Amino acid sequence: MTRSGGPDCRLTRLLREAGADPIQAPLTRTLPPSAGDALDLELPALFESDWLVVTSARSLAPLVAALDRRGLGAAEIRAHGVEVCAVGPETAKALRAAGFEPALVPDRFQAEGVVEALARRGVGPGSRLFFPRAEEGRDVIPTMLRARGADVRVVAAYRTEPLPDEADRLVRLLAEGRCDAVTFTAASAAAAFAEALGRSGGRFAHAPGSTGGPAVVALGPSTAGALTDRGIQVDRIAEPHTFEGLLEAVADFARSGPSRPAD
């Protein structure tokens, strides 16, 4: 698994409970954004917004910390009439745990699905959205929302930094046949893995019909896209896009063998 949360990580627990022996190989780490006070400076705009859009649980901790520094929290956001859009069930779980009840969790987690779901809720000309995200995040969703006339305030909540040593270790583990499956939960991990493969000069052998490589399982479509864009075939995409769905996708590969996921 290309993430780390220590021994208490929920994905680690689920895998162990299912009888697997998970190996944590965190390929990236989360750091404050280059402008460390970006959220603090932009926070007043949140309370003037119609929607708070959260696409990753990683955005939540720095947002909560910025609110705490002002003595504020989820209650004040609700009081100002700001609705919350959680992109994905895992993000929705993290928001609920922090006291934020999402008003919207799109059925499709690709950019088009998110924008269409927000449009059905009336987002369009004059709508104001606050969008905390990774510093290096893609502009697809903000660009599509702006094309509909919305005012999107994009704020860097964190940045990710690759961990080359961990990525190289994972490549060695795979080359040694130590893993039956490798799970990806973020596009940044996919990028770090592809870079490590390039450094090794190796090829990732797990094409359909091959028995020479492990399964590649992605949490959601955006992560799967980041892998396929780098020439790495994805064998399964979790459905639903949760840790439980990821576990079932790994189990399905074990039962059925290699096959490409549906688009």
| In the predicted structure, residue 21 carries a pLDDT above the cut 80 | yes
- Is the residue at 5 inside a domain? no
| In the predicted structure, residue 145 carries a pLDDT above the cut 90 | yes
pLDDT the model gives residue 46? 98
Same domain assignment for residues 53 and 110: yes
| Domain endpoint, select from 159, 191, 208 | 159
| Domain endpoint, select from 126, 159, 192 | 159
- Is the residue at 263 inside a domain? no
How many C-beta atoms surround the C-beta of residue 55 within 10 A? 22
Same domain assignment for residues 110 and 143: yes
Residue 232 sits in which domain range? 10-29+162-256
Answer for the pair 140, 154: CB distance below 8 angstroms, yes or no. Answer: no
- Is the residue at 102 inside a domain? yes
Same domain assignment for residues 219 and 126: no
Mean predicted confidence (pLDDT) in 244-262: 79
Q: DSSP 3-state assignment of 129?
A: strand
List of residues 6+ apart from 211 with CB closer than 8 A: none
- Is the residue at 71 inside a domain? yes
Longest dimension (CA), the chain: 57
For residue 32, whether the previous peptide bond is cis, meaning omega lies within 30 degrees of 0, is no
- Structurally, the chain folds into a number of domains equal to 2
pLDDT tens by residue, 66-82: 999 999 999 999 999 99
| Domain endpoint, select from 135, 159, 183 | 159
List of residues 6+ apart from 125 with CB closer than 8 A: 148, 149, 150
pTM confidence score: 0.83
> Model confidence at 13, in pLDDT bands (50, 70, 90)?
confident
Mean predicted confidence (pLDDT) in 78-94: 94
